Structure 1
Amino acid sequence: MPWDMPDGEFINNYRLSWPLFQQLVDELAPFTAQRHHGWHWHFYAGGSYQRRVGKDFNLGLCQTAVHKCVAEVTDAPNNPAILLRHIAFPNNREDRMAVMRGFMDAFGFPGVVGCIDGTHIAIIRPHDYEEAYFNRKHYHSLNAMIICDADLNVLHVDASYGAMTRMWDSGYAQREWMMTRVATPAPDSLEAHYTDLHCSTRNTVERCIGVLKAMWRCLLAHRTLHYDPVKAGKIVNACVVLHNMCNRARIEVPTLNGYDVRRDGRRQPVQPVNVGDGATSRRGLVERLWRDRHRHR
């Protein structure tokens, strides 16, 4: 039985340590009737289809039963009480300052309250509005937005849109509150220094998405979710809850045997769409970083 497994084997199968698994069971207990619902995270961890999970000797359930259990344990972590406990954008000055310190200490980039990017989550062809979910890589997907902190904790997730329905699918525009890279900075210029720092800082969210998909492989592009967009979006939310629990507990990220998770859907094009209404703000930051660079030499 699973509880007889060595710690390493348990984590390899379920991604959760035994204490973390017990915490999960306790937290979900008020929202589900399944007494052993934690075992069904095996479906998310391995990215295997329900038939395989249903035949797993550790579960001993038929595919129909697994389908019902997965549906129920997907709804449970989507309860607002669970989501807000584990996925919370900093909404007060103290929390925002803590996130900003994390990015400043790691990358020397000031004023960052989160790095944003999106990733494709492959789904089967939906019955309704099929064209809205067909992405430029020629498969159906959700266009999931992720915001993370410097420690790879997800601060916000939105997996409620199709691949073609987000206005920022073609890139993020510069705004007063959103800094984008300079597209073609001259070598050794103020803009080049800013862009180098920006790229290294923003790489945090790409690494976060990579860890998320490495841990919960049902989100990988070749592990298409066989659910409608609403249910698939809930699975993404559930995986993010688990990601934050494991990340904060420092659970080791498994290898993907050479699979490059970046090919799963780095959506953002090389250049932003436009500079938008934040050109002055970005210019001020460019000059500040340049001054700081020379001040500390």
Structure 2
Amino acid sequence: MAHAYMMGMIERERRMRRSQMRRKALRRASMPWDMPDVEFISNYRLSLPLFQQLVDELAPFMPQRRRSTGISAELKIMAALDFYAGGSYQRRVGKDFNLGLCQTAVHKCVAEVTEALNKPEILQRHIAFPGNREERMAVMRGFMDVFGFPGVVGCIDGTHIAIIRPHDFEEAFFNRKHYHSLNAMIICDAELNVLHVDASYGGASHDSHVWNRSALEAHMRSLAEAGEVCWLLGDSGYAQREWLMTPILQAAPDSPEAHYTDLHCSTRNTVERCIGVLKARWRCLLAHRTLHYDPVKAGKIVNACIVLHNMCNRARIEVPTLDGYDIRRDGRRQPAQPVHVGDGVTSRRGLVERLWRDRQNHR
């Protein structure tokens, strides 16, 4: 009886070793270096050179493998990219022949890579609001060159990221569309690079609530108080301020106010396109997908995807199509709000008159 038990244990250990060796060989064969760049981008969104750059940046912040059969940093990052890009559950990634990882391993890979992408050194390197006058001038020139709208240092909007029902403070995450979500505040430049993100608020929070409690709001106010002329562009759900310009609704046709609002809307549409590109690339953020994580971890996934979005965008990597999915379904999801009128009406009035004069002079 004891002999049979021992033989059974030996056989199980032998099978486990064979399985480990097969997975090791599969992982070794799955390294992407021989994969055509177009195919690699289709699967993982990054080009091969950009992928290697990402590995070099993240490897110091990831646990080192202790065994020869351990998972390499390259494969961990590939697994996480596949999860972010596909927007499906980890089980699909774990069964992917190209990766050779079980679902438990994939879960750990996504967690480790997400944490690495959320290190302050990584976030500050890839997501940075212009910190000095020279940087702000560069962003303003970008908007002026493309849209002819002066003084813009970013366009602001919120977008919902679906999550599972949280255990704590559920009501803070239940949005008006009757699902649980984060309301991620995003600010971008004219080239669709994300300059600032805050994914720490629940879907029940309105865009203006998230903005009013942001440290960036205080920063923009301080710039205005110091006499620097620059502003963000937001929709009518935000309060009009010297540092945040909103549209003028129901403006008379062919009036200075209508011209301002048309130009404002076409310029501010930049952030809506930015959100569309972000979610087309990293489909785990789409509204019809749900992140099966608590709000804090889901917020970190949002941050991670935005770091990767900026890397891809600056490298001019082509945006994948959404196979018939209408990205507008992921657009503005805020309830109708009265127009907020604040203390920046005088500044907006001066901007309206300036844009109207420019239009008249160019006729």
The 2-side partners of 1:284 and 1:168 are apart by 24
Q: Does the Cα contact within 8 Å between 2:186 and 2:198 map onto a contact in 1?
A: yes
Contact 2:143 2:189 in 1 (8 A): yes
Query: Contact (CA 8 Å) 1:122, 1:139: kept in 2 or not?
Result: yes
3-state SS of 2:156 partner: strand
Q: Residue 43 in 1 paired to residue 43 in 2?
A: no
SS of the counterpart of 2:153?
coil
The structure showing larger relative contact order (alpha-carbon pairs under 8 Å, at least 6 residues apart) is 1
Q: Secondary structure at the match of 1:139?
A: coil
CA contact (8 A) 2:90 2:106 kept: yes
Once the two structures are overlaid, the 10-residue window that deviates more, 138-147 or 273-282, is 273-282
Tell me, in whole angstroms, the C-alpha distance in 1 between the residues paired with 2:338 and 2:279. Answer: 25
Distance 1:219 1:272 in 2: 29
> How far, CA to CA, are the matches of 2:272 and 2:335 in structure 1?
14
Determine the structure 1 residue equivalent to 2:323.
257
CA contact (8 A) 1:172 1:268 kept: no
Residues in 1 aligned to 2:339 and 2:253: alpha-carbon distance in whole angstroms? 22
Structure 2 contact 272–331 (Cα < 8 Å) conserved: no
1:215 to 276, 281, 284: 281
Offset of residue 109 of structure 1: 0.4
Aligned 1:65-144 pairs, distance under 5 A: 65-144=105-184
Instruction: Please provide the CA RMSD for this pair.
Output: 1.4
The answer as to 2:362 corresponding to 1:296 is yes
Deviation at residue 165 of structure 1 after TM alignment: 3.1
Report the residue type matching 2:78 in the other structure.
W
How far off is 1:261 after superposition?
1.3
Whether the 8 Å contact between 1:173 and 1:272 is mirrored in structure 2 is no
TM-score between the two structures when normalised by the length of structure 2: 0.80
Pairwise CA distance, 1:221? 0.8
Residue matched to 2:292: 226
2:97 paired with 1:31:
no
Give 5+ residue unaligned stretches, structure 1: none
Count of aligned residue pairs for this structure pair: 297
How far 1:257 moved relative to its partner? 1.4
2-structure distance, mates of 1:268, 1:252: 30
The Cα of 1:273 is off from its aligned counterpart by: 3.2
* Secondary structure class of the residue paired with 1:146: strand
User: Deviation per CA, 1:242-289, whole angstroms, max 9, x where unpaired?
Assistant: 000000000000000121112114134566631111111111111110
The equivalences for 1:51-66 within 5 A come to 51-66=91-106
3-state SS of paired residue (1:121) = strand
**8 Å CA contact retained: 2:207, 2:334:** no
- Selected match of 1:188 from 247, 254, 265: 254
* Change in CA separation of 1:146 and 1:161 when aligned onto 2, cut-off 3 Å: same
Conserved in 2, the CA contact under 8 Å of 1:100 and 1:112?
yes
Identity of aligned residues (%): 84
Query: Whole-Å Cα distance in 1 between the matches of residues 338 and 328 of structure 2?
Result: 19
Amino acid of the residue matched to residue 129 of structure 1? Answer: F
Which string of whole-angstrom CA distances, capped at 9 and with x for unpartnered residues, describes residues 87-146 of structure 1?
Answer: 000011110000000000100100000000010000000000001001111110000000
Name which of structure 1's ranges 4-13 and 143-152 shifts more when overlaid on structure 2.
Answer: 4-13
Letter in 2 for 1:7: D
Name the CA distance, whole Å, in 1 between partners of 2:290 and 2:340: 33
Give the letter for the 1:193 counterpart: H
Say if 1:182 and 1:195, in contact at 8 Å, map to a contact too: yes
Does structure 2 conserve the Cα–Cα contact (< 8 Å) formed by 1:180 and 1:272?
A: no
Q: Residue 14 of structure 1 is aligned with which of 25, 32, 44?
A: 44
AA matched with 1:201: T
Look up the SS of the partner of 1:233 in the other structure. Answer: helix
After superposition, give the CA deviation of every residue in 1:27-69 in whole Å (9 maximum; x if it has no partner): 0011002522221211001111100011111111111111111
Alignment of 1:232-243 (within 5 A): 232-243=298-309
* Structure number with bigger Rg: 2
Residue pair 2:278, 2:306 contacting (<8 A) in 1 also: yes
Which stretches of structure 1, 4 residues or longer, exceed 2 Å deviation after superposition?
Answer: 1-4, 267-273
**Aligned residues of 1:48 and 1:218 also touching (Cα < 8 A):** yes
Asked whether the 8 Å contact 2:185–2:207 carries over to 1, the reply is: no
In 2, Cα distance between the equivalents of 1:268 and 1:148?
19
What letter corresponds to residue 324 of structure 2 in structure 1?
A: G
What's the counterpart of residue 248 of structure 1?
314
1:203 aligns with 2:269: yes
